[in-house]
């Protein structure tokens, strides 16, 4: 049993377990009240927007030379991690989490369990 969607980077999961015998969508899980609804909070930093290239002789935190390359969003946290970028994202996310959330209006058809889940949860991906 896995809740892992099929992606290029996890094909081994499907090779090991085989194809799913039953699927339960994220939307259905939210509608049934088992999963919390979420909002995507996208953050685009200056490094994501413009890319980043190390200066000649730049070293990583272990003292190794950073390969000369043009790094883009897909590379960050995989091939290279920029401390200032990570701090900017953490600061933005922390400020966002401090803001009050607007709770959905309770409809007469919504179950108590489902409404309680919506009100208590704040998931960001």
Q: What pLDDT is recorded for position 13?
A: 73
At 8, is the pLDDT very low, low, confident or very high (cuts 50, 70, 90)? low
Q: What pLDDT is recorded for position 101?
A: 74
pTM exceeds 0.75: no
At 115, is the pLDDT very low, low, confident or very high (cuts 50, 70, 90)? very low
125 has a pLDDT exceeding 50: no
- Mean pLDDT computed over 8-27: 77
CA distance 118 to 30: 9
CA distance 83 to 24: 38
CA–centroid distance for 123 within its chain: 10
Helical segments of the chain, H only:
11-17, 26-31, 46-50, 83-98, 112-120
Q: What pLDDT is recorded for position 75?
A: 93
User: In this structure, are residues 13 and 4 in contact, taking their beta carbons and an 8 Å threshold?
Assistant: yes
In SS3 terms, 64-77 reads as CECCCCCECHHHEC
Q: What pLDDT is recorded for position 45?
A: 93
For the chain, what are the domain ranges? 1-38, 44-99
């Amino acid at each position: 049993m896995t809740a892992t969607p099929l992606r290029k980077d996890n094909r081994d999961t499907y090779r090991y377990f085989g194809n799913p015998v039953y699927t339960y969508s994220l939307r259905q899980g939210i509608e049934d009240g088992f999963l919390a609804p979420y909002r995507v909070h996208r953050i685009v930093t200056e490094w994501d927007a413009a890319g980043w290239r190390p200066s000649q002789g730049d070293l990583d935190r272990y003292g190794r030379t950073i390969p000369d390359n043009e790094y883009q969003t897909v590379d960050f946290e995989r091939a290279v991690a920029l401390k200032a970028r990570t701090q900017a994202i953490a600061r933005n996310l922390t400020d966002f989490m401090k803001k009050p959330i607007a709770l959905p209006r309770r409809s007469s058809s919504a179950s108590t369990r489902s409404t309680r889940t919506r009100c208590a949860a704040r998931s960001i991906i």
